[in-house]
Amino acid sequence: MTVTDNTTNRLDSLGASGDGPSFAILDEESKREIRRALLQAVAVPGYQVPFGSREMPVARGWGSGGLQVTLAIVGPDDTVKIIDQGDDEGVNAVNLRRLVVSSTGIPETTEAREASIIQSRHRIPEDELTATQTLVLQVPVPEPLRGIERDVRELARMHAEADYSRMWVSLYEDKVRNGVITQSTGYPCLVNGRYVVATTPIPRWDIPRLHMSQFLTLFGAGREKRVYAIPPHTIVEPLTFDDVPFEVERIEGAACRLCGSTDSFLVDSSGDVDSWACSDTAWCRARRSQG
């Protein structure tokens, strides 16, 4: 079953619900509006679609955008996994998950393979995601040119005319000043050869996963009121010069102190020097339980 079929079925199965508290907090009108924005986003990969961001029981800047996307697409047959910094048990992830589950009654999981919707800030799970899964990323700053231009009309023009020369100059300056392009999270990528997007705040490590993926990725920014999408099988190229290779984070000789992995995204663990652990806690746990 393709993602399109899946989405269509999901939409079809959601009727206008009648009385009582809404399924998934949002009323049907709101959901329809957000879904329309999402369809536009999928139709024009990388293009930031404005939408009417609602007041959520989560402060702006804490995932309200991602939450609205999830709530707009969730249906009774979904299973949701929500992580923050790769960890299901982060305070924020727990809060968001509770909101989704309590307003929908759908099951939750920490296993990426079992979830149909994965909402995340800052990571893509290490597991291979499939065509039946949707990744929803929380984005604080959807505008990749944010540090470079303030005027909104000029920003709109730059995207409209694919005039990204200021971005290139900024990469040039970075390389000149630092010897390498130093941008770590939120690395700007060219999607479908047309729009430059902010991949905030996932690390470089996760960026190659977006390229020609099997799964759909939706980005939601509540405070900035934008959604955008990277559909499956879309070309995603991190912006870099032809002769300056894009490199993911790698620490020489580092391994997870819990599961021993050298091939997953590692973060500082327990504050000790040279002590690393997998960022994706569920994946790490699963690895360990397999012995």
* Residues recognised as catalytic: 46, 256, 259, 278, 284
Give the residues lining the site for other proteins (CB under 8 A): 160-161, 163, 165-166, 168-169, 172-173, 175-177, 241-244
Q: Which residue has the tokens 């923050």?
A: 84
Q: Which residue has the tokens 């690395």?
A: 187
For other proteins, which is the closer residue by CB, 64 or 240?
240
For other proteins, which is the closer residue by CB, 165 or 290?
165
Give the DSSP letter of residue 281.
H
Q: Which amino acid is present at 209? A: R
> Which residues on adjacent β-strands are paired with residue 227?
49, 220
d(CA 266, CA 116): 25
Q: Least Å distance between CB 175 and other proteins?
A: 6
For other proteins, which is the closer residue by CB, 212 or 244?
244
d(CA 176, CA 163): 22
Q: Least Å distance between CB 249 and other proteins?
A: 21
For residue 278, what are its two tokens? 């997998």
Q: Least Å distance between CB 176 and other proteins?
A: 5
Parallel, antiparallel or unpaired: strands 195-197 and 189-191: antiparallel
Q: Least Å distance between CB 234 and other proteins?
A: 20
d(CA 95, CA 138): 14
For the chain, the farthest-separated pair of C-alpha atoms sits apart, in whole angstroms, at 61
For other proteins, which is the closer residue by CB, 105 or 147?
147
Q: Least Å distance between CB 240 and other proteins?
A: 9
Burial tier of 243 (Cβ tally within 10 Å: 0-12, 13-18, 19+): exposed
For other proteins, which is the closer residue by CB, 177 or 272?
177
| SS3 state at 88 | coil
Beta-carbon contacts of residue 44 (< 8 Å; ≥ 6 apart) = 195
